[in-house]
A = this chain, B = another copy of it.
Amino acid sequence: MHNENLQSSSRRHALFTGGGLVALMASPEIVLAATDAATPAPAAGAKPLPAYATWKDADAMIVHSPITVELKRKYIGNAALTPSNRLYVRNHMPPPSEDIVKDPDAWEIEIAGVAKPARLTVADLKRMGLNSVTMVLQCSGNGRAYFPHKPAGSKWTEGAAGCVEFTGVPVKSVVAALGGLAHGGRFMTSTGGEVLPKDMDPLKLVIERSVPIADTLDHALLAWELNGAPIPLANGGPLRMVVPGFFGINNVKYIKHLAFTKDQTAANIQQNEYRFTPVGVKGSPKFPTMWKMAANSWITAPYGLDKPLSAGRVQLAGVAFGGYQALKSVEVSIDGGRTWRPARWFGPDMGRFAWRNFVLSVDLKPGKYRVASRAMDAAGKKQPEKRAENEAGFNDNSWADRSFELEVA
């Protein structure tokens, strides 16, 4: 059981609200109850947005469960940034109380593994430095729906990803203000502010992730703004660790502890979960962990039409990103990958970790077209045709999985 979904993990039976145990769960099929008051009525057949995320754009989202909410592909749009109310939600348990975002400046974080360890408020952090980064935030399991062995966990298609701007203090500036790194630190280890039950082994449940300092310290932020407004609880406010180019899980929400450590955390979510293993094999430290993202892309329009397009000029538009590497180019195919044409970028270049909008103008006669896009990163690595099979359904960047049929009449 190497999936990332708490509710379907046999090693994690407990789920909690801000204060106490909610339910003991045995079956992956059980869906969590929302932790708060009433939510608006969903469309027929759809699940309701969880109470902490009712401000999301309900029409644009797919609610897999109260802790997993995806943006529909046809709502991704053609802009450089994903609006916050269309950004996916992926929690591991119900979030802490909404109270923690009422006075964001008062939130406290402990910093360890530096010359002068300290306990700082967000107000303190705001005085230490300021920067922002525009970046793709993406769940490790984005695209899991395409894996034929039906991994446990949410069946994300493309929408467990968005491109957003985080503003905060560079972690580097905080380290400098606290006298520099203590000797021997190799990992940056972040602990989330989820409330854990006192009667269970915290290592089994704690959301604590380690990333290599060497690959992250130059870019990481302790962020309090998402797209220009305080980070909402559903997306990790009041304070979130932001690790550009790394999968979502490493961007720890409501961060309450940051340590520069010699080793990776012993937490289960680091040691055994989020490991890339062969199908049928459990996760363990000997397998790669979900750190750096790979290049990916998908066409967002025209997509999900309810009738054939009429023949003529069409603008095939989408988003592409390089992952941890910068993005180099993107191509589009209308014949299922037999031939490819370079697409044109449009809109602003938001930097190495952002996605970028592309378009290819084509004249289409009546017929059926298999439409696909294929990004290449700055190191020359292209999206593969086929996904790399793995137990948990991680890291799918196959261009074929994201291709679709466009009918022209």
Q: Do A84 and B83 touch (CB < 8 A)?
A: yes
Please, which residue of chain B has its CB at the minimum distance from the CB of A163?
B228
Q: A128-B313, A317-B130, A361-B129 are in contact. Are A81 and B81 (CB under 8 A)?
A: yes
Q: A128-B313, A315-B126, A361-B129 are in contact. Are A228 and B348 (CB under 8 A)?
A: no
Q: Do B315 and A80 touch (CB < 8 A)?
A: no
Q: Do A229 and B86 touch (CB < 8 A)?
A: yes
Residues of A within 8 A of B (CB): 57, 60, 75-86, 126-134, 165, 167, 225, 227-229, 301, 312-315, 317, 346-351, 354, 357, 359, 361
Partner of A130, one of B82, B133, B346: B346
Nearest CB of chain B from residue A240's CB, rounded to whole Å? 14
Q: Do B127 and A314 touch (CB < 8 A)?
A: yes
Known: A77-B228, A78-B167, A80-B228. 5 other contacts (CB 8 A): A80-B165, A127-B314, A130-B315, A130-B361, A131-B346
Nearest CB of chain B from residue A325's CB, rounded to whole Å? 18
Q: Name 9 A/B residue pairs within 8 A (Cβ), A-sorted.
A: A78-B132, A79-B132, A80-B132, A82-B228, A83-B227, A86-B228, A131-B347, A132-B346, A165-B347
7 closest pairs, A vs B, by CB? Answer: A79-B228, A77-B228, A132-B347, A348-B350, A130-B315, A130-B359, A78-B167
Kindly list chain B residues whose C-beta atoms are within 8 Å of the C-beta of A314: 127
Q: Do B347 and A81 touch (CB < 8 A)?
A: no
Nearest CB of chain B from residue A307's CB, rounded to whole Å? 12
Kindly list chain B residues whose C-beta atoms are within 8 Å of the C-beta of A57: 229
Taken together as a complex, chains A and B put the C-alpha atoms of A86 and B313 apart, in Å, by 36
Nearest CB of chain B from residue A165's CB, rounded to whole Å? 5
Kindly list chain B residues whose C-beta atoms are within 8 Å of the C-beta of A167: 77-79, 347
Please, which residue of chain B has its CB at the minimum distance from the CB of A127?
B313
Kindly list chain B residues whose C-beta atoms are within 8 Å of the C-beta of A346: 130-132
Q: Do B359 and A83 touch (CB < 8 A)?
A: no
Please, which residue of chain B has its CB at the minimum distance from the CB of A78?
B167
Kindly list chain B residues whose C-beta atoms are within 8 Å of the C-beta of A229: 57, 60, 75, 77, 83, 86
Nearest CB of chain B from residue A31's CB, rounded to whole Å? 28
Taken together as a complex, chains A and B put the C-alpha atoms of A64 and B283 apart, in Å, by 58
Which of A76, A228, A312, A347 is the most central at the interface, judged by chain B CB atoms within 10 Å of its CB? A228
Partner of A165, one of B79, B131, B312, B317: B79
Kindly list chain B residues whose C-beta atoms are within 8 Å of the C-beta of A348: 132, 134, 165, 348-351, 354
Taken together as a complex, chains A and B put the C-alpha atoms of A349 and B131 apart, in Å, by 13
Kindly list chain B residues whose C-beta atoms are within 8 Å of the C-beta of A228: 76-83, 86
Please, which residue of chain B has its CB at the minimum distance from the CB of A79?
B228
Q: Do A129 and B315 touch (CB < 8 A)?
A: yes
Partner of A77, one of B79, B225, B317: B225
Q: Do A83 and B80 touch (CB < 8 A)?
A: no
Nearest CB of chain B from residue A10's CB, rounded to whole Å? 39
Please, which residue of chain B has its CB at the minimum distance from the CB of A347?
B132
Kindly list chain B residues whose C-beta atoms are within 8 Å of the C-beta of A84: 83
Q: Do B315 and A227 touch (CB < 8 A)?
A: no
Kindly list chain B residues whose C-beta atoms are within 8 Å of the C-beta of A347: 131-134, 165, 167
Nearest CB of chain B from residue A344's CB, rounded to whole Å? 9
Kindly list chain B residues whose C-beta atoms are within 8 Å of the C-beta of A86: 228-229
Kindly list chain B residues whose C-beta atoms are within 8 Å of the C-beta of A60: 229
Taken together as a complex, chains A and B put the C-alpha atoms of A64 and B84 apart, in Å, by 26
Kindly list chain B residues whose C-beta atoms are within 8 Å of the C-beta of A317: 130
Q: Do B165 and A225 touch (CB < 8 A)?
A: no
Please, which residue of chain B has its CB at the minimum distance from the CB of A177?
B313
Q: Do B127 and A312 touch (CB < 8 A)?
A: yes
Q: A126-B315, A127-B312 are in contact. Are A225 and B79 (CB under 8 A)?
A: yes
Taken together as a complex, chains A and B put the C-alpha atoms of A225 and B301 apart, in Å, by 13
